[in-house]
Structures are given as structure tokens and as C-alpha cells.
Amino acid sequence: MDEKLIKLAGSDMRNAMKEEIKQNQRIIDENLIKRNSPRYLKEAVFYAIARNTSINHFLRLDEPTPLRLKDSNEISAEFNSLMYKVGAVKYPLEVKRKAEYDLFYDYTHVDYKKRRHFIDKELPIRPKTIEVLELGINALGFCFIIIFRFWNMLSDDKNIYA
């Protein structure tokens, strides 16, 4: 996902997904894959096909939620035919899984409660009371550590000179 798509996804995620489908389709159309093609080209095409399949599946959902973006999809006919044309099974499926996870992480972000939200939605703001409480607990812990180390230093000195 390039910078242009990231900026577009920040404001309108569905249009960014449609634009990414076009870019991925260009990658698929430009690269003719054969059995003896370099592996990096095969992986790029498998990645593009898997992302397109996942995006199309997500755009067709009635209730899109961030976790539904992570759902594993069935293998498309195009992916399956290319997989058998190349004669590989294991690494195309790994590339598919990686593409689905990357899609999930590209179009979502995490709030302070570690919940996922779409990238075009604003994150909930953390309440000030929680921030102040955390700061107080951290300061109290820091003071406890300093007092404990100072106490150990004093007690160690008495044992050495005794």
C-alpha cells in the first residue's frame, strides 16, 4: 500500500480499496506467470490476487466490521488455477495468509483499549482521569523503587563494615 492510498484510506476507505483493486489488477495483468518465472514475481501476483479477493469479499459484506476484514476467504478460481499452473501449493497459501493479515493491519488502527477501528474513523479519546491515575501509579512505583534501592544500599553498607 503506497502513501497515496494511505492518505485516501484515512478519509474514504472504500474508495481506497477500489483504487487498490485497480493497482493490484495492473500487477496481475502485467506479469505473465509461468512455471519457471522468478519466485518474487509469482509471490507478487499471488499477493495481488489474494488482496483483491479479500477486498472484494469485504466490500460485498452487509455489515463490515474491522474483524470481518481479517476473515480468511475461500481460494478464488484465478488463484487456484495459477497455483496449479505454477505447481506450488505451500508458499502461495502462505502468501495468501500474509496478504489477508496485511490487509487487516493496513486498513485498521488500534485505540487505547487495544480495539481495532477502521482507518477512516477517529479513535476514541482516552479519558483524562485514566491518564492522571496512570501517571500517579507510575510515580508511586518509581518512588517505591528508589526507596527500596536506597534501603538495600544502606543495609549492604552495614553488613560490609560489621
Q: Do 46 and 70 share a domain, yes or no?
A: yes
In three-state form (DSSP H/G/I as H, E/B as E, the rest C), the secondary structure along 27-57 is HHHHCCCCCCCCHHHHHHHHHHHHHHHHHHH
- Residue 142: pLDDT band with limits 50, 70, 90: very high
Residues 114 and 138 in one domain: no
For residue 140, the model assigns a pLDDT of: 94
The burial of 27, by beta-carbon neighbours within 10 Å (0-12 exposed, 13-18 middle, 19 or more buried), is given as middle
Domain count, the chain: 2
Indicate whether 83 and 37 sit together in one domain.
yes
One domain for residues 96 and 149: no
Please give the single-letter amino acid code of residue 159. N
- Report pLDDT digits (tens) over 63-113: 888 888 877 788 899 999 999 999 888 999 999 999 999 999 988 888 888
Task: Provide the whole-model pTM.
Answer: 0.76
Cα 72 versus chain centre, distance: 14
Residue 20 and residue 62 in one domain = yes
Q: Can you give the residue range of the structural domain that contains 132?
A: 126-162
Q: Do 78 and 131 share a domain, yes or no?
A: no
Torsion angle of C-alpha atoms 39, 41, 44, 46, degrees rounded to 10:
-70
